[in-house]
Structure 1
Amino acid sequence: MSENQNLLAEQRRALILEEVRRRGGVRVNELTRKLSVSDMTIRRDLDALARQGAIEKVHGGAVPVMEPSTHEPGFEAKSGLELSAKDDIARAAAALIVPGSAIALSGGTTTYALARHLLEVPDLTVVTNSVRVADVFHSVERGGGGQRPGAATVVLTGGVRTPSDSLVGPVADQAIRSLHFDVLFLGVHGISAEAGLSTPNLAEAETNRRMVRSARRVVVVADHTKWGTVGLSSFATLDEVDTFVTDSGLSAEARAEIAEHVPGLVVAEKRKGPADN
């Protein structure tokens, strides 16, 4: 059995997506040879990626979805992408947190994954503009009959809800302006050397700027597919980032470019799982 046959379906789909983006399109028969799986398996993978909005199926293969810089995918659409990579990143980022800290978590599916890893870290104060992140902590309280000793104190900013379930705008900005975080964990829509950190949502860009200004330390949590993506509005440069936590799919060239600007680069180790073809 080849190494590729041991890939999880999710890992295989990540490889397919990377190939589509890198080459501008792939054919089914090329993928069956490259990944050593059946034609039917590849077609199921393409169907799954197409449902997530990650690719567009064409006769005999797939091509990238060309999105405008103003396109903002919803939380559900993004939550199905790069699941294992996000969990790897979340575990590595959680290891950076000192119990008793005041931390901020921005909106996004990677910070959502991080929140689940923070439930056992004692005495945190968590400020977030993410409805989903706040609900991770609140659901534990609801299910456990009240607040547990050492449970996090959660502050949810107000604001206008975005498609990615973040709260943004003047209300959120005003709440964040008066606060000071030990560490900000920041999810991003896109990141590049030229544009820095960016988002397609103008109001979210301003709220993220406020978060960056209020943090003593800024940690970006982003999987490798975010590198090279540019949204409508930039809200921070790479030089404003203290630590970048990503997954092993990030290319050596991108790592070198990030290292020129960011003092700390953490590449999360990949967890091994059972075969799933």
Structure 2
Amino acid sequence: MLAQQRQSRIAERVHRTGAVRVAELVEEFGVSDMTIRRDLETLAERGLVAKVHGGATAVDFGSTTEPGFAVKQVRQEAEKQAIAQAAATLVGPGQAIALSAGTTTWTLAHHLTDVADLTVVTNSVPVADVFYRAGRSDQTVILTGGVRTPSDALVGPFAVASLERVNVDTVFLGVHGMSERAGFTTPNLLEAETVQALAAKGRRLVVVADHTKFDVVGIATIASLDDADVIVTDAFLDDTARNTLAEYVDQVVLAPTLTAAPAQQTRGGLAPDSKSAATAATTTEMRSA
């Protein structure tokens, strides 16, 4: 396992459990004590964990705390890649789409640079840069103006005004959290208004969010769960979360990763096991009529 992959797994475990011990990680990953300590040092420097004697604890991100783009970029990288690959299949040549800001939508953008005659509307500087660097003359990118946030989103009245007369086929929305009570949320009040305006501009709303976003609540609600037509997430999402989302959303797509969770019974059948996850397309769940 590469150091970056190991560090991603460590960060996810800290986020899930609240704390880890060096000795536990040494046994789990089969590496030296010094290697784990270097991993924790790297994660602490990135703001992903807080180092303590003998281990690390989770960083307390409140409902108004917004980590920067670089911090979020290294979280759940395998899951984001799987989600992006699945979401990219929803886009065809000649379509107009919108991508909100975020590292998952940024990852998705890399999978769309080969789509012919694509028009992209975005409030994300990094997303626009992906298409700019691809250099395709048949792709049109429209970048809203606005005030720049820590996550490199352009937000505020100018961004909202620039979206007033825009209409697209599909909006791809990245979110800070999703829950039954609060819906899809953001930790940035100013960003909420801009993303709400963006979400309303598509004939179809697709939310792209990895499993760690479930039951996370930011201070501002962007949309309710049933506003989404599709949610593309990963196969690590547990049964409770899957069933909850399936009650509100027409289609829940479970993107398999190379190390997916063990097979579990879901509303739409069996989730992919760890062996088949690398080759399976997606697992979908449909809301009952």
Task: State if a TM-score over 0.5 links the two structures.
Answer: yes
Identical-pair percentage: 54
Q: In 2, Cα distance between the equivalents of 1:248 and 1:11?
A: 17
CA deviation after TM superposition for structure 1 residue 140, in Å = 2.3
Asked if 1:178 is matched to 2:165, the reply is: yes
Aligned-partner residue type, residue 45 of structure 1: D
Q: Give the superposed CA RMSD.
A: 1.7
Work out the CA distance in 1 between the residues paired with 2:192 and 2:228.
15
Q: 2-side partners of 1:192 and 1:52: how far apart?
A: 27
Note the 1:4-15 alignment, pairs <5 A. 7-15=1-9
Question: Which one of 14, 34, 39 corresponds to residue 20 of structure 1?
Answer: 14
Cα 1:257/1:41, change in 2 over 3 Å: farther
1:72 aligns with 2:66: yes
Matched, 1:124 2:118: yes
For 1:78, give the aligned amino acid.
K
The higher-RCO structure (CA 8 Å, 6+ apart) is 1
Q: Does 1:154 align with 2:148?
A: no
| Residue aligning to 2:45 | 51
Q: Which moved more, 1:180-189 or 1:15-24?
A: 15-24
C-alpha distance 19-139 of structure 1, shift in aligned 2 (>3 A): closer
Preserved CA contact (<8 Å) 2:8 2:77: no
Q: TM-score with structure 2 length normalisation?
A: 0.84
Cα displacement (A) at 1:8: 4.2
CA distance in 1, matches of 2:204, 2:177: 20
Structure 2 CA distance for aligned equivalents of residues 63 and 80 of structure 1? 17
Instruction: Verify: 1:96 aligned to 2:90, yes or no.
Output: yes
Partners of 1:70 and 1:174 in 2: CA distance: 25
Equivalent residue for 1:221, pick from 190, 196, 208: 208
2:237 aligns with 250
Return the alpha-carbon distance in structure 2 between the equivalents of residues 224 and 159 of structure 1.
30
CA contact (8 A) 2:97 2:171 kept: yes
Q: CA deviation at 1:227?
A: 1.8
| C-alpha distance in structure 2 between counterparts of 1:137 and 1:20, whole Å | 34
Offset of residue 178 of structure 1:
1.3
Give the whole-Å Cα distance in 2 for the aligned partners of 1:82 and 1:22. Answer: 12
CA contact 1:10–1:84 (8 Å) conserved in 2: no
CA distance in 2, matches of 1:266, 1:8: 28
Mark the runs of 5 or more structure 2 residues left unpaired by the alignment. Answer: 260-289
Specify the alignment match of 2:150 in structure 1.
163
* C-alpha contact 2:96 2:118 (8 A) present in aligned 1: yes
Cα distance in 1 for residues equivalent to 2:233 and 2:62 = 25
Contact 1:52 1:78 in 2 (8 A): no
How many Å apart are 1:135 and its aligned residue? 1.0
Letter paired with 2:102: G
Q: Does 2:223 align with 1:236?
A: yes
Shift of 1:107: 0.4
Partner of 2:251: 264
For structure 1, the 5+ residue unaligned runs are: 1-6, 142-146, 273-277
Cα shift readout 1:175-224 (whole Å, capped 9, x = no counterpart): 11211111000111112221111111111100111112111111111122
User: How big is each residue's C-alpha offset from its partner over 1:43-79, in whole Å with a ceiling of 9 and x where there is no partner?
Assistant: 2222222122121110001111112211111112211
Shift of 1:173: 0.6
In structure 2, how many angstroms separate the alpha carbons of the residues matched to 1:232 and 1:172?
A: 20
Rounded to whole Å, the distance in 2 between the matches of 1:20 and 1:72 is: 18
Q: Distance in 2 between matches of 1:26 and 1:114?
A: 31
Q: Does 1:200 align with 2:187?
A: yes
SS of 1:177's partner is coil
Give the Å deviation of 1:271: 4.2
1:127 aligned partner, one-letter code: V
Give the structure with the larger strand fraction: 2
